[in-house]
Amino acid sequence: MHLRITPIVLLLLLALTSCEDNDMMSVIDTPTTYAFEREGESTVSFSGQTTRIAMATELVNGMLDFDATTESLLEMYANQTASGEDANPYADSDLNASTKSVKSKVAASNDFFSANTAEAAVIKAEIASWIEAQVTEVYPNRNQFADVGVAGQIADGSEARYVNAKGLEYNQAVAKSLIGALMVDQICNNYLSPLVLDAGENISNNDNNIVEEGTVYTTMEHKWDEAYGYLFGASTDVSDPLATLGEDSFLNKYLSRVDEDGDFTGIAEDIFNAFKLGRAAIVAGDYTVRDEQATILKEKLATVIASRTVYYLKQGKLALANNDFGGGFHNLSEGFGFLYSLRFLRQPGSDLPYFTRNDVDGFINQMSAGNGFWDITAETLDTISEQIAAKFDFTLAQAGE
């Protein structure tokens, strides 16, 4: 009898030990939804992030509206006129009424850019230059075929894509660069940073339930929510956003895409859980658990951007190998924007980016050299992809297919 059950007892012990280990890890339960209340009122607020996602959406869509002008598009970028006056460039009147803007939050994080304003200005201007070039280079050629050194349209399946003389879709460059320069930079290098979360009296106010004037949330709670809003601010149910993941054209959408890739299944849930647990930790006043979750978020979001970069470079390479220039250019245009976004990824537990401005400039220059996508080689795309994957724990094959 005794002898019979021994192996089972061993197995049970093993199972029990594993469970105990998990319980030890977190004394705070991860909530099932992102819903937090104080005295019966929701303390979750991130309307500014929802607004900026909507503004960026109108801007990116506007770049393919051939009735738009440089002026109208740049106003959508800055939400003000060239001379700094109030502008009303959006179709949505709520956006016109807002004083927020996309441009003011591009490359504007505390940790990466508060003492690096020269580079921030270069990034802001670079994105503006792509918006402008769409109107000056691509619009006039919209009714002719693109060719080597000639802007115009090109077929991608049954779609028409509009490219510059090097095969780049400026609208894709802007959209995918904003994922890094706006969303990831604000989340990882600003709102999840202890320098922002703990600024001023934030810790003592949070410890003592002292809320911001006219609100029911503490400043620290609000900062964390603002990080959350750059990812989930356009979701139908912001407290339970995974059910309908993929609802914007930016970070949310590409988190959905990476999560659908079998090699990264579960990353969306990991990110959602870290946001919930970190927020619950703020409510509980446990800043160690909070910062552990912030570290997880920085690492996972960097994985989303880096793996999508490799994915699009690989898909572009495959399409070009089949002489599918339109499909290839479309993938490389998305890849170009994701490459640009690498600059904003931060190594976990460090103040350092994964890639410096020089690294990213090097990649972008290789993509743009000569006739750009028209004559880019598979070797160039492979080399860039290898350099990216080398900094992460996914393989080229895992990210690329």
Binding site for another protein (CB under 8 A): 3-4, 6-7, 142-145, 153-161, 249, 253, 257, 315, 318, 322, 326, 331, 334
* Euclidean distance between CA atoms 198 and 287, whole angstroms: 10
Give the tokens for residue 375: 């004559």
CA angle, 258 as apex, 366 and 174 as ends, to 5°? Answer: 45
| Cβ at position 59, least distance to another protein in Å | 16
| Cβ at position 61, least distance to another protein in Å | 12
Query: Quick one: 14 exposed, middle or buried, by C-beta within 10 A (0-12, 13-18, 19+)?
Result: exposed
* Euclidean distance between CA atoms 224 and 232, whole angstroms: 12
| Cβ at position 321, least distance to another protein in Å | 11
Pairing of strands 159-163, 41-42: unpaired
Give the tokens for residue 293: 């979750």
Give the tokens for residue 236: 């139908």
Backbone φ and ψ for 98, nearest 5 degrees, come out as -75, 150
Residue closer to another protein by CB (options 186, 333) is 333
| Cβ at position 158, least distance to another protein in Å | 5
Residue closer to another protein by CB (options 58, 334) is 334
Residue closer to another protein by CB (options 327, 372) is 327
E strand or H helix at 27: none
Residue closer to another protein by CB (options 169, 221) is 169
CB 346 within 8 A of CB 192: no
Residue closer to another protein by CB (options 223, 308) is 308
Residue 356: how many other CB atoms lie within 10 Å: 12
| CA proximity to 379, closest of 309, 320, 304 | 320
Beta bridge partners of 150: 147
| Cβ at position 240, least distance to another protein in Å | 18
Give the tokens for residue 77: 């970028």
| Cβ at position 160, least distance to another protein in Å | 4
Residue closer to another protein by CB (options 7, 214) is 7
| Cβ at position 169, least distance to another protein in Å | 11
Q: Rounded to the nearest 10 degrees, how much is the dihedral formed by the CA atoms of 23, 269, 37, 281?
A: 40
Residue closer to another protein by CB (options 88, 244) is 244
* Euclidean distance between CA atoms 208 and 190, whole angstroms: 24
Residue closer to another protein by CB (options 278, 326) is 326
| Cβ at position 336, least distance to another protein in Å | 15
Give the tokens for residue 179: 């994922």
Residue 369: how many other CB atoms lie within 10 Å: 12
CB 303 within 8 A of CB 310: no
Residue closer to another protein by CB (options 105, 330) is 330
Q: Which residues contact 354 (CB under 8 A, 6 or more apart)?
A: 302, 306, 342, 345, 346, 347, 391
Backbone φ and ψ for 201, nearest 5 degrees, come out as -95, 20
| Cβ at position 142, least distance to another protein in Å | 8
Residue closer to another protein by CB (options 250, 354) is 250
| Cβ at position 16, least distance to another protein in Å | 18
| Cβ at position 170, least distance to another protein in Å | 15
E strand or H helix at 334: helix 325-341
Residue closer to another protein by CB (options 93, 158) is 158
